[in-house]
Structure 1
Amino acid sequence: MLELFAINGYPFWLLLGLLLLVSELFVPGLVAAFFGLGALVVGLLTLLGILESTGSQLLCFAIISVLALFALRKQCQRWLRGAEADPATANLDDAGFIGARVEILTDFDDGAGDVLLNGAKWDAESSEPLQRGASAWVTDHRGIVLTVSSQRP
């Protein structure tokens, strides 16, 4: 039974591969998964009788794991996290504010006032003198401050 789990047996490699893949769930970093993939491939190649010696198994494990790590890690990270590397540089209109119609709640004195957008009160700024009760459109936003105009964008 002990020789069944020797380092050159396919059960060892398959078990090691599964453990490494599961460890990725507890310590994410997208490194252990590629070593787990390498161990699974070596386990399958050993099961098929292609790899027999311990040295060839270790060499194959190292090559497959390192190649997979360097070749696929960036692609997998992009797939898992999305294509935007820096959310600060992303398009900030994900909520669809630009072009939305708003109701003016307060007169715009010195270019600032309040508007109603989707049932919520927002701070807004405008280069135009807007009057309470009128409608305007969102032309831009900076954080939680909307820029509005009487002209549609």
Structure 2
Amino acid sequence: MIDWTFTPASLWTLVGVLLILSELALPGVIAVFFGLAALIVALLLFFNLPLDPPAQILLFGVLGAALLLLARNRLKPWFRGQVETGGVGSEVLPDGTRATAQADFERGVGVVLLNGVRWNAESSDPIRAGDPVWLSGRRGLVLLVRATPPTDSKT
């Protein structure tokens, strides 16, 4: 028969893993630090450090809070990614960036795919589905595109 009893170290390991995995469903870059704290408590128990349950809970809370306060701002970009922004907080999309038209533009309006994201776009050029387009500007969430690549003034 299988022995399904848990040791305190295995319970803390389970709690730690579940907290770290919960970060995928509820991203806030908080649960991961408490998950790490639970894994540290599990590691201490694994090496037979004598901790009674109230001490384990206290250590878990203190470690989780300390990790959160000391490391969150440094590690947050690893979990959320970084977006290069311009002066007013908007994502930087340089002129001349290449995208692909997703459908024929009708009356100068269409949709383009840029870096895996669909954007509403406008152009005075005739553009058909699948055509490459180049960014010439931006107005809010609408990209301004053209059908011809930018000319390189250095050549």
Q: Structure 2-normalised TM-score?
A: 0.56
**1:24 positional shift:** 2.1
**1:71 positional shift:** 2.0
- What value does the CA root-mean-square deviation take over the aligned residues? 3.8
Q: Is the 8 A contact 1:5 1:12 kept in 2?
A: yes
Q: How does 1:22-61 map to 2 (within 5 A)?
A: 22-61=21-60
The answer to whether structure 1 residue 141 and structure 2 residue 140 are counterparts is no
Q: Is the 8 A contact 1:24 1:32 kept in 2?
A: yes
**1:13 positional shift:** 0.9
Q: Is the 8 A contact 2:9 2:42 kept in 1?
A: yes
Q: Is the 8 A contact 1:115 1:121 kept in 2?
A: no
Instruction: Give the corresponding residue for 1:132.
Output: none
- Tell me the distance in 2 between the aligned counterparts of 1:54 and 1:150: 69
CA, structure 1 residues 28+81, in 2 after alignment: closer, same or farther (shift >3 Å)? closer
Please identify the structure whose Cα radius of gyration is greater.
Answer: 1
- Tell me the distance in 1 between the aligned counterparts of 2:28 and 2:81: 15
Instruction: Give the corresponding residue for 2:77.
Output: 78
CA, structure 1 residues 44+77, in 2 after alignment: closer, same or farther (shift >3 Å)? same
Q: Structure 1-normalised TM-score?
A: 0.56
> Runs of 5+ in structure 1 lacking a partner?
98-112, 123-137
- Tell me the distance in 1 between the aligned counterparts of 2:67 and 2:44: 16
Aligned length: 118
> Runs of 5+ in structure 2 lacking a partner?
99-123
- Tell me the distance in 1 between the aligned counterparts of 2:30 and 2:49: 26
- Tell me the distance in 2 between the aligned counterparts of 1:11 and 1:150: 63
Q: Is the 8 A contact 2:133 2:145 kept in 1?
A: no
